[in-house]
Structure 1
Amino acid sequence: MKANRIYKNSGFTIVEMMISLVLGALLLGGIISLFTNNQQTYRIIQGTANLQDNARFAIDVISEDIRMSGYYGCLSNSAAPVYNPSLLNTGSNIDFLFQNLSLGLEAFEATNVTTWQPALPALLTVDLPALNRPPPQGGTDVVAIKRVISNGVTLNSLNDPTKTMQVEGTGSFAQNDAAIISDCEKATLFQVTAANDSGTNQNIEYKTTGATPGNINAPISTGASYVASSSSVYQFASAVYYIAPAWDTTNNQAVTNNRGDQVLSLWRIQGINTAGQPVPEELLRGVENLQVVYGVDSNPAPPNEGDNTIDQYLNANQVDAIANGFERVITARIDLTVNSIDSIGTQNDGVLRRTFSHTVKLRNRGS
């Protein structure tokens, strides 16, 4: 007869259970900490990569305009170019976009958080708020560029009494376009009030009506008129770069980040619309500062011209204090501070930011 064996039920003691829970908690905490740190590292790496991409885009856009500022085709090579009075009948704050063609580049230094030298034009301080768009951010610089943006088309014929001309090629111009006509010695800015293709050519009108703001009723040249085959017509562009709050156009209010802090953007005014108003466009969010210094030829040789070499780097207000200062600018050094918009770090406001610098030479200045 077999003896019955009695087996005791075995299990974890309370002490063993507590030790297991503690070890499990420690292991789980380590995994969570590792995951959190990896996630934070990823956000920082991704944010840094976005900073670099955004900075590259912004600097490329501004640099291209500054490099070509004051470029007016063959007129740029003239020793004594003549800029006839503009025919555009503006008579308002948008005059700023179409005047001082010989400068090509104008700039405004933020001397403090409320003041610029030279003073900002009313286009920026009055017209923008009237359009429910933010004006430039205090403490940041403003740069304005004027130039042509096409290779130009040859003038076939010009009839100034009827305010009409014909150019080679089709589709080069449209109603409301700003354009420049030049014969390499002089140039006149006007607005296209009508344009239509005719065979392989285009007929252009520059009358007082038909576009906004239109033209004044004046001859296209104050001297000898433009001669066919020896003159060209170009598309004209003016751009103003500045920093301002990012804007929600649907609700007409400033944009904030994940901490509720104001977001700043790089803005550009690119000409005017068909109503004759400036066209502000938000180019890139997360750009919080724009500072530019200018390489200037400030050592003139007799009688009035410089030697086309950089003597010093100056802020915009210092350039403006020199006679014909902006005409002496040869290079511009752009310092652009870009941020990650949202808070992703642990220090201060948690926003990543970096300042990028780039120097660009004006194509038509210096040796």
Structure 2
Amino acid sequence: MSLSAKQSGLSIIEVIVALALSLIITLGLTQIFTSNSQSFRVSEASARIQETGRLATSIIGREIRSASYWGCLGSQGVRDGRLNSILNDTGFDVEALLRGLDAEDNQGVGNSDILYLGGINGNSAVRVTFQPSQQAANLRVDDSDSFNENDILIVTNCSAGDIFQVTNVNTNNEVVVHNSGNVTDGPGNSTQALSTNYNDDPDGASVFRPRQQRFYLQDNPDGVRELVTDGIAIMGTPTGNFTTPVALLQDVVDFQIQFGVDSNQNGQVNDWEDPIGLTVAGRTQADNTIAVRLSVLVRSPNDGVTDGGQEYCFPGWLDCVATPSDMTTAAANDTFLYRVYSTTITMRNRI
């Protein structure tokens, strides 16, 4: 038999079987690739969310723990009467500088909360070395280089405290001046006299910078919701106005807090309450608060992570098992990944 007679092609059945096997293998490889790709997207989104949630609770928690610190004197002893009550006719009350804690419920974007925290920076203490008299307009300190005209400062010992605005600094003699009258910017001092003679305290007195800052949410120009902070300017210009917001973390889409109120002054939380707001009753509530519950809702930066309609329990202190109606369900076409991060922080300067 010749060689050409022995050669023959594949039958149609063999071709069909080969194509079917190839198709099955291709579909299997495609499914493996798709599954691995989706797993990678979920893992990446989960890691990003976890980092954002951890940082948000850590940053705000640290500030809550340090809030309402006024040296060895509580805020009730600091006198705000040395400052004119209104800053530059903007309607901002200088009493806010002496508030350790305030909040507004559902007043931020998306009905989120706004948190106000105040106190002094304990690392910024400058010792008072001499005060000529209670009526004098100057204090001699051990380091005047960090102070400038228009700065708002607090001088305090364990018995009294005063808040005032600097009208001049004499670095050669280490003297901080707090005259009454006009200033370049800010409220100015209604009187140069202080509430006490700080030479009388054998332990001495110190000058601190007050701190007052807010934490809240805003939508940036790209439409991404982010956690931001700003604060009352207590140095430079414009003194007394809120500073430009600084973005801390993106994709924090909701922010809620509750106050742990010690209503009978026994050093324990008696009730958990939503903030009343910046009213007389709200500030009484905030003054009696010794702990804060914080819950943030974080969303993945990119969509296409879930199949839509994800459920989550927010704020974190809700019992969605006992009350299923408290569970939140994302829209069916919402394919972002959501996570809730909650923590409880004790105000260590109030216990």
Q: TM-score, normalised by structure 2?
A: 0.78
Cα separation, 2, equivalents of 1:87 and 1:225? 18
What does 1:145-184 correspond to in 2, within 5 Å?
145-151=117-123, 152-158=125-131, 163-169=137-143, 171-184=145-158
Which residue of the partner structure matches residue 233 of structure 1? 207
Change (3 A) 1:30 1:312: same
Compared CA separation, residues 333 and 364, structure 1 to 2 (3 A): same
Aligned-residue CA RMSD (Å): 3.0
Shift in Å at residue 92 of structure 1?
Answer: 4.1
1:196, 1:23 → 2: CA distance? 90
Q: Partner amino acid for 2:115?
A: V
Select which of 281, 292, 295 maps to 2:246.
281
> What SS does the aligned partner of 1:316 have?
coil
Q: What letter matches 1:215 in structure 2? A: G
Is 1:139 the equivalent of 2:107? no
Residues 47, 196 of structure 1: alpha-carbon distance in 2 compared, 3 angstrom cutoff: farther
**Residue equivalent to 1:346:** 307
| Match of residue 33 from structure 1 | 31
Aligned residue pair count: 315
Alpha carbons 1:173, 1:235 under 8 Å: kept = no
- Aligned pairs (5 A) from 1:299-310: 299=264, 306-310=265-269
| 1:155–1:168 CA contact under 8 A, matched in 2 | yes
- Aligned partner of 1:121 in structure 2 is none
**How far does residue 315 in structure 1 lie from its aligned partner after superposition?**
1.2
Q: Secondary structure at the match of 2:350?
A: coil
- Following superposition, the deviation at residue 24 of structure 1 comes to 1.6
- Post-superposition shift, 1:214? 5.2
The aligned residue for residue 108 of structure 1 is 104
C-alpha separation in 2, matches of 1:355 and 1:6: 75
CA contact (8 A) 2:49 2:299 kept: yes
Partner of 2:311: none
The question of whether the paired residues in 1 share the 8 Å contact of 2:178 and 2:192 is answered with no
Structure-2 change in CA distance of 1:211 and 1:145 (3 Å): farther
CA contact (8 A) 2:65 2:348 kept: yes
| Cα distance change of structure 1 residues 206 and 328 upon mapping to structure 2, 3 Å threshold | same
1:204 maps to amino acid: V
The gaps in structure 2 that reach 5 residues or longer are: 309-331
Code of the aligned partner of 1:59 = T
| SS at structure 1 position matched to 2:158 | coil
C-alpha distance in structure 2 between counterparts of 1:350 and 1:43, whole Å:
12
The answer for the alignment partner of 1:60 in structure 2 is 58
Aligned-partner Cα distance in 2 for 1:242–1:177:
26
Structure-1-length-normalised TM-score:
0.75
The answer to whether 1:317 aligns with 2:317 is: no
Aligned to 1:337: 297
Give yes or no for the alignment of 1:11 onto 2:36.
no
Deviation at 1:53, TM superposition (A): 1.2
Q: Which residue of 2 aligns with 1:264?
A: 225
Question: Shift of residue 308 of structure 1?
Answer: 2.5
| Counterpart residue identity of residue 181, structure 1 | V
- Give the distance between the partners of 1:320 and 1:42, measured in 2 at CA: 52
Question: C-alpha distance in 1, partners of 2:171/2:21?
Answer: 83
Alignment partner, residue 291 of structure 1: 256
**Amino acid of the structure 2 residue aligned with 1:313:** W
Residues 212/21 of structure 1: CA separation in 2 closer, same or farther (3 Å cut): farther
> Structure 1 residue 287: deviation in Å?
0.7
Q: CA deviation at 1:91?
A: 4.2
Q: Where does residue 22 of structure 1 map in the other structure? A: 20
Cα offset for 1:338?
A: 1.2
Cα offset, 1:167, TM superposition: 1.9
Q: Is the 8 A contact 2:252 2:299 kept in 1?
A: yes
The aligned amino acid for 1:108 is: E
Take 1:235 and 1:95, find their aligned partners in 2: how far apart are those partners?
A: 19
Quote the offset at 1:101 in angstroms: 5.0
Letter paired with 1:186: A
What amino acid is the match of 2:105? E
Distance in 2 (alpha carbons) for counterparts of 1:171 and 1:150: 17
- Pairing partner for 2:341 from 352, 356, 362: 356
Q: Which amino acid aligns with 1:351?
A: F
Given that residues 82 and 185 in structure 1 are in contact (C-alpha distance below 8 angstroms), is that contact kept between their aligned partners in structure 2?
Answer: no
Worse overlay, 12-21 or 55-64: 12-21
Alpha-carbon spacing, 1:170–1:82, altered in 2? closer, same or farther (3 Å): closer
Instruction: State, as a whole percentage, how many aligned pairs show the same letter.
Output: 25
The 1:294/1:203 distance shift into structure 2, 3 A limit, reads: same
Alignment partners' CA distance in 2, 1:309 and 1:235: 30
Contact 1:179 / 1:236 at 8 angstroms: preserved in 2? Answer: yes
Residue of structure 2 equivalent to 1:216: 189
Structure 1 gap segments, 5+ residues each: 111-115, 117-135, 249-254, 257-262, 300-305
Residue in structure 2 matched with residue 259 of structure 1 by the alignment: none
Q: Does the 8 A contact of 1:68 with 1:362 survive in 2?
A: yes
CA separation of 1:187 and 1:8: change in aligned 2, threshold 3 A: same
* CA spacing shift, 1:337–1:196, aligned 2, 3 Å: farther
Distance 1:13 1:91, change over 3 A: same
> C-alpha separation between the residues in 2 aligned to 1:41 and 1:178?
54
State the match for 2:41 in structure 1: 43
Contact 1:193 1:214 survives alignment (8 Å): no
In structure 2, the residue corresponding to 1:145 is in which secondary structure?
A: strand
Tell me what 1:129 maps to.
Answer: none
Which residue identity is paired with 2:217?
Answer: I
Instruction: Note closer, same or farther for the CA distance 1:320–1:28 as it changes in structure 2 (3 Å cut).
Output: farther
